[in-house]
Structure 1
């Protein structure tokens, strides 16, 4: 493919060879937000368009707000890797991926510039309109791949996106004293927490044991929805935030 008309009219086009057809009749129902985790935007753009990398994304948003489309929205980009949401494991076939330039945790994680976030919002608004994507299906890479991925991270301004109508969000509950669930706990309270996380979409088994996998999913939830403390322990603020998120979902989404 030598080029294509961008789905988002304001985007530049740089074609990545790393794409394929969406499988099993799946269509875009999810937006996955990533950070690039590389030293610079140009380096990330080159990597996503390098056939040797075997990775790609539909879009890349540079720090000053320039948007580059590399894969058509109709096609399957290779951005999510091993992941799941509501039991679907081929997230690449069900999603549109947006890479946001940021060095990430290993190279000097920093706040996302306002111009960049403004561009992300406009891009997401366009995708939501084109594909009728529900707010609760605008997700972090860390949501669909807990533990394996932690991007776009706790500094990503989900509240700002929500104010612009992008994503599902409630104000995080304030931390306060009280019992919390942690490693090695077991019983009904743990089972209820796991069930709530699974209802929201996370890939967690309802075992009644607060095992390592559960703590990893709780940390992913905190990173997106309650980032004041990301430690994998379900304090009262974490559980309250999750409860209110579920309460504000449309019935058809649960």
Structure 2
């Protein structure tokens, strides 16, 4: 993670803005009922019987590539094929919409062939390992000019960074996740096929997490 330790609050106006948003987050969050094929319980043992820690210990950042509606349609569609099953815990819309697709206690299918700092979990002996059993996944809605395979786009909105910081600060506190364990799909992808979230500005997230006191 490019995030750095920072104990100074920095922008106090930003802090007040975020705290106001934080109070309304529970009311603003929409809970979605997705198809059961696209998520599961966090496993207590891997495919070989080894005991697993079930609390999430890292966060993977994504982007939707297409609009929020497309992602929601995918998550609510039944996928009998393991290779097509996909979900994130949270979706953050371009205009401030916050959608919880999978409860954080459950296992979302956000990164199929993946590892973080040499760690993965094999839950199916017929498939490669992944970080999904110990990860939380949050995806930013891609802007219209990013609905392609180009290397970048115009980036994300201020409200997306605001909501992302609020969600991350909550998860970091609730699950004792260090800021060093916040990373991207691109970084954990072992297939070298993922680039998301493209055009992500880590300095915007740094400012907001510091204002919330989450980096100290």
Q: Which TM-score band applies after superposition, normalised by the shorter structure?
A: 0.5 to 0.7
Structure-2 residue corresponding to 1:148: 193
Counterpart mapping for 1:111-130 below 5 A: 111-130=155-174
1:84-138 deviations in whole A, cap 9, x for unaligned? 0122123101110001110455277321111111111111111111111101001
Structure-1 residue corresponding to 2:117: 86
1:175-229 deviations in whole A, cap 9, x for unaligned? xxxxxxxxxxxxxxxxxxxxxxxxxxxxxxxxxxxxxxxxxxxxxxxxxxxxxxx
Structure-1 residue corresponding to 2:15: none
- Structure 2 unaligned residues grouped into runs of 5+: 1-24, 44-51, 122-130, 211-216
Q: How far apart are 1:51 and its partner, in Å? A: 2.0
Name which one, 1 or 2, has greater alpha-carbon Rg: 1
Quick one: distance in 2 between partners of 1:104 and 1:98?
18
By relative contact order (CA 8 Å, sep 6+), the higher-ranking structure is 2
- Structure 1 unaligned residues grouped into runs of 5+: 1-7, 167-254
How many residue pairs align between the two structures? Answer: 158
Quick one: distance in 2 between partners of 1:19 and 1:115?
27
Structure-1 residue corresponding to 2:140: 100
Which of 26, 29, 40 aligns to 1:20? It is: 40
Q: 1:105 to 1:136 in 2, by over 3 A?
A: farther
Q: 1:104 to 1:133 in 2, by over 3 A?
A: farther
Quick one: distance in 1 between partners of 2:135 and 2:71?
20
Q: How far apart are 1:165 and its partner, in Å? A: 2.5
Contact 1:49 1:70 in 2 (8 A): no
Structure-1 residue corresponding to 2:69: 42
SS at match of 1:164: helix
SS at match of 1:165: helix
Quick one: distance in 2 between partners of 1:104 and 1:158?
21
Q: 1:104 to 1:32 in 2, by over 3 A?
A: farther
Counterpart mapping for 1:224-239 below 5 A: none
CA RMSD after TM alignment: 2.1
- TM-score (ref. length: structure 2): 0.67
After TM superposition, the runs of 4+ consecutive aligned structure 1 residues lying more than 6 A away are none
- TM-score (ref. length: structure 1): 0.58
Which of 41, 59, 62 aligns to 1:31? It is: 59
Q: How far apart are 1:149 and its partner, in Å? A: 0.9
1:65-91 deviations in whole A, cap 9, x for unaligned? 111001111110000110001221231
